[in-house]
Chains A and B, each alone.
Chain A
């Protein structure tokens, strides 16, 4: 940032620091992804190679047997499909609810606005906790339905306020002229506000999507029917065996083969990694725009 200005004031110590900094940050950058690269390499390696080589970033012998056995497993394929569907529907529902609430709250003259905003902020610092929320979901008859993975977290108060702040600083003239042309508020929202906010909304849609995809607590709490389990639950089931001691593994069921564990981790991560470039393009910008004070 302050780079170009003081180049000519470089000292020897400064240059030494620069070199050190470059080396250090390169190592940090590599450490951030190496564990994942190891798992990726392991997912294409043979059982023998996984159990004999302590660390590798490229398999000696390339094989896809781990993925083949996953694809032949009904359980994992179904879990993948349902998780994709739940994430897709859930993201749409959550984003729609957030936008519909953020827009009226962006109107500073709305009666009762301060009260509603105050209550929203209150939910950020105080929540009734896991059990009362669980009981509400139960009372609403949502247990063992996919809605239980979507509705209890439908609006993230942080996202709501950031989107509200963003709407608030859009130029009012466009909305006014649309209204003069006879548009109602819903039409203004659909045809003026939303098109102007596409990058920000795309960012929050991706955050919601990643949140649903990665969610483990909700399926753990609300889905007791194993046939409905999401991918994260299956992943846990497949890899958990390794996190227990040998004594506890002393069951009559043999622990799942190593390769499958590697491959399931990859399968559960790939969609997030595919979304990442789009996320990265926008998140910093979206966060910054949104945090401009309302």
Chain B
């Protein structure tokens, strides 16, 4: 899936002499059907992906719906300054980075470990069964995952509430406890996406030349050596690409999970950029300010993704662009 980003790699066609306007028009006519078919899609991207980018100029204005975007007054970077000097900013950044770090340093390695273990499983029936089972949670909605969490941690009768209560000897409401917020988010993330994440590694492993393993066995390499010197190096490029993609996504904590898991008691640790934009913009109607926050996040994300890609290329690894 990641290689999908390599949209095109064929060399550009040799530059032809500039055709006359009429010739070009005739060439265009040859493609009229294709242009026609593409029209709805182009319209979609223009309307729902690029028009919002133009609309995002309200981040630099004091947008008042009644006056319209053009009628509203320009304020330059005032909203950005307000956000960056707001104490909320550091709190959001910390919360966002912690959630991202949990995903990157715990959930992501777990995915690799699970893929390696599955790859080492010789019992093909069990391998297929386990794969079938661990992919399922990926297809459940966050609403369902959060609802199941609520049932498992229900005070008084939830199985996990009982279990963790027994372990820690307390009968706290874990769903409302700020200390429990991050562990719960991580648990959900691991449960929902670890299995699904293995697909890409298993695909990479399926492409490894089996003769390498045979040669290694003849050279006396044990199981661990084969994993270390053949299996892991063969998924390293995949790991790099995913790391780059994930780093670019570091500020995208995913709105639905966090929003659904946050409540008035854990908001201090729950709030991240995405939910903040929602609360400020949609609930409080501070459109310009919320747009500025969203834009700040998007620009940092863009810098991060190009930055990590550049770094990866410098270290002679495969980039994604």
Contacts and interface: CB of A to CB of B under 8 A. Distances in A.
Interface of A: 1-3, 5-7, 9, 11, 13-14, 17-18, 21-22, 24-26, 28-33, 35-36, 38-39, 42, 50-55, 97-98, 100-101, 103-105, 107-108, 110-111, 114, 116-121, 123-136, 140, 151-155, 158, 160-162, 165, 184-186, 189, 210, 213-217, 220-221, 232, 235-236, 239-240, 242-246, 248, 258, 261-262, 264-265, 268-269, 272-273, 275-276, 279-280, 283-284, 287-288, 290-294
Contacts of A242: 150-151, 154, 175
B64 interface: no
Interface residues of B, number: 114
A243 B157 contact: no
A253 to B, nearest CB: 17
A261 B141 contact: no
Contact of A279 (B139, B206, B256): B139
Contacts of A244: 175-176, 263-264
Interface stretch (B70-78, B95-103, B274-282): B274-282
Contacts of B53: 126-128, 132
A174 to B, nearest CB: 17
A165 B1 CA distance: 11
Nearest to A214: B141
A276 B121 contact: no
Contacts, number: 331
B217 to A, nearest CB: 5
A124 B210 CA distance: 36
B22 interface: no
Contacts of A261: 147, 150-151
Contacts of B51: 136
Contact of A126 (B134, B139, B217, B302): B302
Given A131-B294, A132-B291, A246-B155, A265 B148 contact: yes
Given A120-B7, A129-B291, 6 more contacts: A110-B31, A132-B56, A132-B294, A151-B44, A243-B176, A276-B136
Given A125-B302, A293-B6, A97 B40 contact: yes
B64 to A, nearest CB: 13
B130 A5 contact: no
